[in-house]
Structure 1
Amino acid sequence: MNRLCPITIDVSGAEMHAEAARIREQAPATPVLLPGGVTCWAVNRHADIRRLLVDPRVSKDAYRHWPAWISGEVGAEWPLAIWVSVQNMITAYGAEHTRLRKPVAAAFTSRRVAGMKPRIEEVVDGLLDRLAALPPGRAVDLRTEFAHELPTRIVFELFGIPQHLWAPLHKIIKGFFDTTITAEDAQRNVVDLDATMADLVAHRRKHPGEDITSELIAARDGDGERGRLGEKELVDNLILLFTAGYETSVNLISTALHELLRNPDQLKLVREGRASWEDVVEEALRVESPASYGLLRFAVEDIDMGEGVVIPQGDPIMVSFASAGRDPAVHGADAERFDVTRETRGQHLSFGFGTHYCLGATLARLECAIAVRRLFERFPDAALVDPQAGELPRVESFISNGLRELPVVLGAEAGLA
């Protein structure tokens, strides 16, 4: 690969930012080795990623543009096969992407998201009530008890997922993003996902409601509309929407809370009105993108990246949203530092760019801003259990980027001290 030696990606993501920086500094595109022996190109610089995300010579459709997938050289046994085997609006190319995105965008309107604000506030306040009932001084894991619970209830309600499927879906989503699991476990997870999705679609066909799943089923089953979904497209779009909507929101809320807890000077800026809660959300998105790498894209034709590097036609590509957020060429020499007043805080690619820009971005931002603001209003003295402990353990993944836990002592409620 253009005389560059492949770098073996750490599947645990333990040193994600250091690894991403090494790749970013080496070349505009660097060959990397993924689990299962698949080699692809990692693109880690902000400008290069932004350009590729709107380049018509780049596709996400493995069935059309990845020769190794088409020939069966890479197949369903590959540990990361779920990321390319699905056929939804994210993996579609050209006119197919437009066709698949249209019914989803129609169901996921900005008006619908704006109308969810009172429900988000209600859920947040209920979760805080539950935390307030815990014994004083007890440590609580805010990822599990708060950041996880909010998107679960909002996203699962939004998609009309019955409660008997909540636990199975949580287990499946965890396996979906865990890049350290075996190929056997990954394949078993796909089987469980198919069965759970069949259960969900059958339930909503029998009991339709005012939810996105029911609306997409109507688009699938409707008469005569050119843009309507096939059955696999319906299921795969649902997989995309609620897995991404859940996992990224949990990571974002956890990150925003963690950064404010370990940077009290930044929290003070917000409390003094010198920065907003929305600024907190954007800076959290920048410094710790909820998704590290985006898998996979494919070169429709040879792509000259500059500096003597050419991505050959048919080669797979992955882009690092986490690396882009810390690119010193955009964010300065202190790009790794959390700063709610940073002028470039909104110049991240954490929700993508161009035609594949995330439809759930507005909802994720709204959830996070409400959750973080209300928690610190309710518990102004909240603190990390061990502020000197250094970095907290992170989820084992080079795709998902989030904390595994967030141990906090909440302290007395405001007005009750």
Structure 2
Amino acid sequence: MNVRDATFEVMRRLGVTTIFGNPGSTEVPFLKDLPGDFRFVLGLHEGSVVGIATGYATARDEPSFVNLHTAAGLGNAINAIANARDCRAPLIVVVGQQDRRQLGFEPFLTGRSLERLAGEYPVWSTLPARAQDVPGAIARAYHEAQAAHGPALVVVPMGDWLEEADELAAMAPARVLRPCAVDEHDVARLAELVGDARSPALVVGRGTDSVEGWEAVGGLAEKLRCPVWQEPFVRRAGFAQDHPLFAGHLPWRRRLMHDALSAYDVVLAVGTSAFRLYLFDEPVAVIPPGTRVAVITDDPAEAHRSPCELALVADVPSACRALTRSVAARDSERPEPMRRPPALAPPGESEPLRAGHVLDALSARLPREAVLVEETPSSQPELYRRLAIRAPLGFVGTANGALGAGISGAIGLRMGLPRRPVVAVLG
């Protein structure tokens, strides 16, 4: 058995049999005579390839496999890899390289330090020490991508694939189990902070965007009778936006965010760092004096950068359920729900069709189970006001602000969710 065959066995075991790529000659030894149980999806630009793979990984909540062509392919893909990292989409990115037997001469298509070319955007990267270590490196990349929710990168010289495999080569675990139970003891300090609140609020994000997450956040919000805000620069909808406790989208401007948060004495950010800003438009503190902040997240980095009094790193739905069991029900009046604008009157014959007209028409026709892909920065505030996301994984936004991920991401989402309508709003 050669390294290529051993790698295919690893991929089968992991359930990774779809390959996205725009290959060149450094990828031919891997892709030639691809086994019949594998599927290859061709894209004509690496940004599109990684974008489709990002959508596919998001839809399936498991790593997808990308094959890129040495320095040129990886270079073209870096923006999309950065977006995948910010979207927390798990990817296995395998990059071709010249044959290691002649790398010292820097022949045509040599990539310099490919394992470092994408900077800090991969959650893990490696150039295996020898050809026989490639299958184990790809298995590890799967687990690294899954654990860190981001792209893991493996550089493979083209001659490695046909080398004889080594049964004694180091391999990664066949399966990694991550228990996620959280009990009342784990949330005791958090329950004390939230239980003392007179006017609490929740801010949700990507980390609660699942059926389990929506139910857990909804149960907590109902017990606290508190408003639920969506994080700024929405990547994923963390709560039902037609729920009467949905308050709207937290502003990204410093003053507006400060003013919105000043109504609450305790703010609990769930599945997000919550305070994602943009322009330093005014030198004002984001968190008002007297407002206490706590965070629940499964991402240690998100916890570490959050300006909060207490952060709990745990499985988010489990933590929300434990917190719900630990706090007393509040009997205060329900907060006012978000007020959406009335539909615009149709434009006259000589009047332009505006974004609001299109979004009103889309809102009236969009099925509840549809997935909305948003890449429309100029109309984003209008979209937030006029469209309510009503099902988990019903919204996917461009995480890093760079254009190009919308249409490719929508293709990948549709491939991964063939029974759900996918609508991309671009422009």
TM-score, normalisation: structure 2: 0.24
Structure number with higher strand proportion: 2
Relative contact order higher in (CA < 8 Å, ≥ 6 apart): 1
**Higher Cα radius of gyration:** 2
Structure number with higher helix proportion: 1
TM-score, normalisation: structure 1: 0.25
